Amino acid sequence: MEYVVGIDLGTTNTCVAIVENGEPTVIANKGGYRTTPSVVATSEGGRRMVGHLAKRQLVTNPNHTVYAAKRLIGRKWSSPATDAARALVPYTLVEGPNGDVRLEVQGDVFSTAEIAAFILQEMRLIAEAHVGAPIDRAVVTVPAYFNDNQRQATKDAGRIAGLEVIRIINEPTAAALAFGFGKNLERKVAVYDFGGGTFDISILDIGDGLFEVVATSGDSFLGGEDLDQRLVEYLVETVEEGQDIDLRGDRMAMQRIRDAAERARCELSEQTEVTIDLPFLHTTATGEVHHLRGETVTRSQIEDLTADLIERTIAISEQALVDAGLDKSSIDDVVLVGGMTRMPLIRRRVAEFFGREPCLGVNPDELVALGAAIQAASLSHETEEVLLLDVTPHSLGIMIAGGYLHRLIEKNTTVPTKAGHVFTTTRDDQTSVKILVLQGEHDQAVDNELLGEFILSGLRKAPRGQVQVDVSFAISVDGIVSVSAKDLETGHEQTIAVTATSGLADDELERLIRESNAYMVEARASEELARRRRQVERLMGDVDGLVPRVREVMNGTRFGREALAKVEGVLHRGERELHVGDPRSLSEAMESLERAQSMLRGIAERSGR
């Protein structure tokens, strides 16, 4: 059987799920956790760490640990979001060869797609350990408000991780799918999805087994990290005022403050007051030691510090309703997704805004992955087909004379969709036309996201206005843009890749895929070794436990003595193989242990013990 998983690749945490016996289920990682931190680090020895292991050493190793990389995926070096991220993260950002953003860790430079691939690969290993078979295909979710560059980069991340991403779906849509799964709903649902790095709102019309998104909106640079930053600033200023020291240049101190700020913010969801203690926070060149001691932060303080950010999500929700042409009162259910929705102020404001309490019994950390798994099962025909109609979050257009955006596909159009535009030459003997493809809502072309520019060349020389080229723009069901052009006179057609995707050139992508395959072979082998070790260890425990019973009844007999001596030998061998064994010798040890186990059991049973 071929397994296809659903992966919610989050800014802060990542979650993998699968449909088993018709039921969507979250797969826990080796540590038993149902979500894995989206954190990647490199040890001094160059070993890759992903998840809890990487997060645990974040405070002591901030320069070599990457978190929240999703905020940068598919971004250009020149984008304002890159500047904003630079101020937030302790690791170093550098410009990539294609104007993309890269991350420097331990002297190695990684693309954002590569970092995302490391996380996807970890999820693949987690899922493989669960099903006991290779996983090669997945449905991966992205924030609904992700633009084409960000979606392309996510798809590249899947390719690097050795996964065929059979569909990219929007996080709130996935959440709605899981929410409505098997319930035969006829309702209008608002999914408010606030995570560590992004905010999305989608309005869906669910009925007759069809999940139709009517409008979506969001901000792909608004999340828990921004709220944390407010508290970090507050704490840094407190130290500055009280102790006359600026901690902003001390990376480790800043990381400890950030860590404490997030923890405090989460605790304030349950408590009304917390105390932050950070001893030995900073030592000056002259040896003067600074601490942050007994700093009390109250729930109302954190609410005051972050209220405007939460109001931004409400304004965006209002816009989504306007785009959907719906009144708040026509929304039947409000579903909260993303860790941030545990914050009492958010729950309160959302309830006030929609005039109803959000649905209970929904796990905000798992719903998106479950929805992705449902879609994965449906696409691989394991369950009934799920009918899903999603929309494009941004308008798509081209730059026209005067530097304006000419919209060809409006935001909130159902995907897949297509639009055409006929270009004519504007100069005599013009043999090429340059087309700039943009995504966004601003009238001035420069204010929108440039997806790519391409040149249609080889046009026939003719007086201006005579040559016509029909360019068609398409947005796939994954929300990914493609462009093709046709010379209307000759019928000659060409398809153009809109963008350099994640900033990775083809040969670089191929190299990364090769490296990742090699990593996967190694990781699988070491997982297999660990699995066999666990089996040997468990069997040794069982056999060890049977020995005293058998000794009691058989020790006096020659047969008993010989049997026990043999068992002793088998246990010794097991012990040795645990330390030095390869998969084959561990398997052999396992077989001997199984034989010993059944012999001892037989003796014990026959003697009635």
Residues 185-204 that bind ligand AMP (CB under 6 A): 195-196
For tokens 């899903």, name the residue. 388
Whether 193 is catalytic: yes
Question: How many other C-beta atoms are found inside a 10 Å radius of the C-beta of residue 556?
Answer: 9
Task: Determine the Cα–Cα distance for residues 210 and 208; give it in Å rounded to an integer.
Answer: 5
499 contacts: CB under 8 Å, gap ≥ 6: 148, 149, 152, 437, 451, 452
CA distances from 421 to 187, 218, 562 (A): 38, 28, 88
Here's the x/- map for ligand AMP, 247-266, by CB under 6 A: it reads as ---------------x--xx
Q: In this complex, which beta carbon is closest to ligand AMP, that of residue 113 or of residue 261?
A: 261
CA 306, CA 229: separation in Å to the nearest integer?
10
> Please, what is the minimum distance in Å from the beta carbon of residue 7 to ligand AMP?
13
Which one among 98, 238, 269, 535 touches ligand AMP, defined by CB under 6 A?
269
* Active-site pick, 70, 76, 411, 486: 70
3-state secondary structure of 524: helix
HSE-up (13 A, CA, CB side) for residue 173: 33
Verify binding: residue 371, ligand AMP, rule CB under 6 A: no
* Distance between CA atoms of residues 15 and 126, nearest Å: 10
10 binds ligand AMP (CB under 6 A): yes
Closest distance of CB 588 from ligand AMP, Å: 44
Total residues contacting ligand AMP (rule CB under 6 A)?
17
Given the complex with ligand AMP, which of 35 and 499 has the nearer CB atom?
A: 35
Peptide bond into 416 cis (omega under 30): yes
* Three-state secondary structure of 26-75: ECCCCCCCCCEECEEEECCCCCEEECHHHHHCCCCCHHHEEECHHHCCCC
Nearer to ligand AMP, 162 or 195 (CB): 195
Question: Which region among 176-184, 237-245, 337-345, 384-392 touches ligand AMP (by CB under 6 A)?
Answer: 337-345
Which one of the listed residues 122, 128, 193, 225 is annotated catalytic? 193
- Should residue 40 be labelled a site residue for ligand AMP when binding is judged by CB under 6 A? no
**Shortest distance in whole angstroms from residue 320 CB to ligand AMP:** 19
- Considering the complex, what minimum distance in angstroms separates the CB of residue 347 from ligand AMP? 10
**Closer to ligand AMP by Cβ: residue 96 or 224:** 224
- Strand-pairing partners, residue 205, are 188, 212
- The b-or-e profile of 264-295 (16+ CB within 10 A means b, else e) is bbbebbeeeebebebeebbeeeeeeebebeeb
Pick from 485, 397, 482: nearest CA to 444:
397
Q: What does the alpha-carbon distance between residue 432 and residue 37 come to, in Å, rounded to a whole number?
A: 49
Binder among 6, 162, 180, 338 for ligand AMP (CB under 6 A): 338
Closer residue to ligand AMP in complex, CB, 10/24:
10
**76 given a catalytic annotation:** no
From the list 123-131, 340-348, 471-479, 493-501, the region that binds ligand AMP by CB under 6 A is 340-348
| Catalytic residue of the set 171, 219, 262, 365 | 171
Known catalytic residues? 8, 70, 171, 193
Residues that bind ligand AMP (CB under 6 A): 10-13, 195-196, 224, 262, 265-266, 269, 338-340, 342-343, 365
